[in-house]
Amino acid sequence: MAFVRSVLRSLVGIIVLPVTILQYIGFWDPLYKRFFPYLMRRMTTTINDKMDKVKKKLFDRLPDFASSSGLTVLEVGCGTGANFQYYPWGCKVICTDPNPNFEHLLRSSGAESTHLKLERFVVACGENLSQVASGSVDAVVCTFVLCTAQNVDAVLKEIKRVLRPGGAFFFIEHVAADKETWLHFIQHVIQPAWRYFGDGCYPTRDTSANLEKANFSELNLKHIIAPLMSLIKYHIVGYAVK
Ligand X SMILES: *[C@@H]1O[C@H](CO)[C@@H](O)[C@H](O)[C@H]1NC(C)=O
Interface with ligand SAM, residue 76, by CB under 6 A: yes
Among 51, 94, 116, 145, binds ligand SAM (CB under 6 A): 145
The whole-angstrom separation of Cα 102 and Cα 8 is 35
Among 59, 84, 121, 144, binds ligand SAM (CB under 6 A): 144
Angle subtended at Cα 89 by Cα 86 and Cα 92, rounded to the nearest 5 degrees: 90
Q: Which is nearer to ligand X, 98 or 238 (CB)?
A: 98
The whole-angstrom separation of Cα 242 and Cα 221 is 14
- Alpha-carbon torsion angle 23, 27, 33, 38, nearest 10: -110
Of 2-10, 13-21, 76-84, 162-170, the segment contacting ligand SAM by CB under 6 A is: 76-84
206 binding partner (options ligand SAM, ligand X, none; Cβ < 5 to 8 Å by kind): none
Q: How far is Cα of residue 105 from the mean position of the Cα atoms in its chain? A: 17
Interface with ligand X, residue 128, by CB under 6 A: yes
Of 38-46, 109-117, 213-221, 230-238, the segment contacting ligand X by CB under 6 A is: 213-221
* Sign of the Cα pseudo-torsion (201, 204, 208, 212, in order): negative
Q: Which of residues 13-52 bind ligand SAM (CB under 6 A)?
A: 40, 44
Strand-pair partners of 170: 141, 239
Contact, 142 vs 76, CB < 8 A? yes
Interface with ligand X, residue 131, by CB under 6 A: yes
Other CB atoms closer than 10 Å to residue 20's CB: what's the count? 14
* Interaction site with ligand SAM (CB under 6 A): 40, 44, 76-79, 82, 97-99, 102, 125-127, 143-145, 148-150, 199
* Interaction site with ligand X (CB under 6 A): 124, 128, 130-131, 213-215
